[in-house]
Structure 1
Amino acid sequence: MNKLDYAIATQALKSADPKLGAIIDQVGVCTLDQAQHLGGLLDSLARSIIYQQLSTKSATAIYHRFLQLYPSGMNAEAILDTPDEILRQVGLSRQKIIYVKDLAQNVLTGLPTLEELQPLDDETIIQTLTKIKGIGRWTVQMLLIFRLHRWDVLPVDDLGVRSGIRRIYELDELPDRKTVMKIGQAWKPYSTIASWYLWRSLEIS
């Protein structure tokens, strides 16, 4: 998306959902493009696995230590050749070591590249990648948002999205998936931009 695209998206969201529109006005210009992830599919999914169920601060520290194991660049063979004990020392849990190595094995046996995934629709990409251990729907949705730049992704299980909805709509408790999907109908075809504003809304005092 360029600045014009973001302007069109935010204007459409404000018209469709005044409550979200108020948050858009508070947060200001969308800077989602500045948060895009780099690297190939292996790097993107390994990053997502490492970040699962951890605070951003802790996950970032572990991820950087993980990257330092591969000064010449991360690749599937290098990950598989890394002893589990070394991966434990940089902070990966035993479960995440299994996931990261399974991911590397899948890359070697023919996982599609980002370029090969690009022409596919969102749901096909989700079904393709969730066959890998430790890769759930949420993880692939983060790839769709931050790596494949898809505009209409609504991660209904994301805690930040649910917390943002609870706050904006003054709900008594976190909304369930059905409620998120119902409210999110108004945000199509810009659910990704809406999700970004929901995340940012949690930073407003």
Structure 2
Amino acid sequence: MQTVQTKYFQYGEEEINHLSRVDEVLGAAIQRMGKIERVIIPDLFAALVHAIVGQLISAKAAHTIWNRMQDRLGEITPRHIAAQSVEHIQQCGITRKKAVCIHELSQLISEGTFSLDALSDLSDTDVINKLTSLNGIGKWTAEMLLIHSMERPDIVSWGDIAIRRGMMKLYGHSSITKQQFDHYRRQYTPFGSVASIYLWEISFE
């Protein structure tokens, strides 16, 4: 089995102290929970495939499929995945739509038509715009890449159900509006990604 390299999202006292200062409720949760280690995938292509796999399914299901992909497909690189058939990719347990998306993406990158490396010089908004111009990639997928590979510091995704659920649990809401969400998101700036890491954890408690 070819295993994609991972590491933990880098953050420390500066981020924790800031969030605790601007939001006492979140600060109390951080103190209670201690440091949360969030696994990320530094390789942009592998991280993007991982995010596509995770679209609209549970984290547990995504984890199972991701392990199966690494086991059956081998290297998660543009050239290697482009050489696979859509059917073979789909047999790892994903929809045909996702398999087509991953295959097309692999071809675009291996041919040099689309450069993932060029994203590192762009703003968060421009990264999202660039990625969402591709077939099968929406804003949530782009935001997951920003956090889980590029380690951008200030991403809080409205499109992520677990983050919204974490906010509702943390602040005692039975539902949450976009306006309420944006209020909290602005409060977390410039360290929204660390807030997201805690909100994910809270949502599954």
- Tell me which interval the TM-score lies in, with the shorter structure as reference length: 0.7 to 0.9
Name the SS of the counterpart of 1:141 in structure 2: helix
Q: Please say if 1:68 is aligned against 2:71.
A: yes
1:127-146 alignment, distance < 5 Å: 127-146=129-148
State whether residues 157 and 177 of structure 1, in contact with CA within 8 Å, keep that contact through their aligned partners in structure 2.
no
Find the aligned partners of 1:85 and 1:113 in 2 and give their Cα distance: 25
Could you say which residue in structure 1 is the equivalent of 2:172? Answer: 170
State whether residues 27 and 200 of structure 1, in contact with CA within 8 Å, keep that contact through their aligned partners in structure 2.
no
State whether residues 86 and 103 of structure 2, in contact with CA within 8 Å, keep that contact through their aligned partners in structure 1.
no
Unaligned runs of 5+ in 2: 1-7
**Pair 1:101–1:169, CA change in 2 (3 A):** same
* Letter aligned with residue 105 of structure 1: Q
Could you say which residue in structure 2 is the equivalent of 1:80? Answer: 82
**Pair 1:36–1:75, CA change in 2 (3 A):** closer
**Pair 1:2–1:145, CA change in 2 (3 A):** closer
Find the aligned partners of 2:82 and 2:121 in 1 and give their Cα distance: 29
Could you say which residue in structure 2 is the equivalent of 1:188? Answer: 189
Q: Please say if 1:19 is aligned against 2:21.
A: no
**Pair 1:98–1:182, CA change in 2 (3 A):** same
State whether residues 66 and 90 of structure 1, in contact with CA within 8 Å, keep that contact through their aligned partners in structure 2.
yes
Q: How many residues align?
A: 197
Unaligned runs of 5+ in 1: none
Could you say which residue in structure 1 is the equivalent of 2:4? Answer: none
Q: Please say if 1:49 is aligned against 2:52.
A: yes
State whether residues 49 and 102 of structure 2, in contact with CA within 8 Å, keep that contact through their aligned partners in structure 1.
yes
* Letter aligned with residue 65 of structure 2: I
State whether residues 80 and 104 of structure 1, in contact with CA within 8 Å, keep that contact through their aligned partners in structure 2.
yes
Name the SS of the counterpart of 1:49 in structure 2: helix
Find the aligned partners of 2:131 and 2:24 in 1 and give their Cα distance: 36
Find the aligned partners of 2:83 and 2:128 in 1 and give their Cα distance: 28
Find the aligned partners of 1:83 and 1:151 in 2 and give their Cα distance: 36
Moved over 6 A (4+): none
Name the SS of the counterpart of 2:137 in structure 1: coil
Find the aligned partners of 1:197 and 1:97 in 2 and give their Cα distance: 31
State whether residues 164 and 199 of structure 1, in contact with CA within 8 Å, keep that contact through their aligned partners in structure 2.
yes
Structure 1 position 21, deviation (Å): 1.1
Structure 1 position 44, deviation (Å): 1.4
State whether residues 102 and 132 of structure 1, in contact with CA within 8 Å, keep that contact through their aligned partners in structure 2.
no
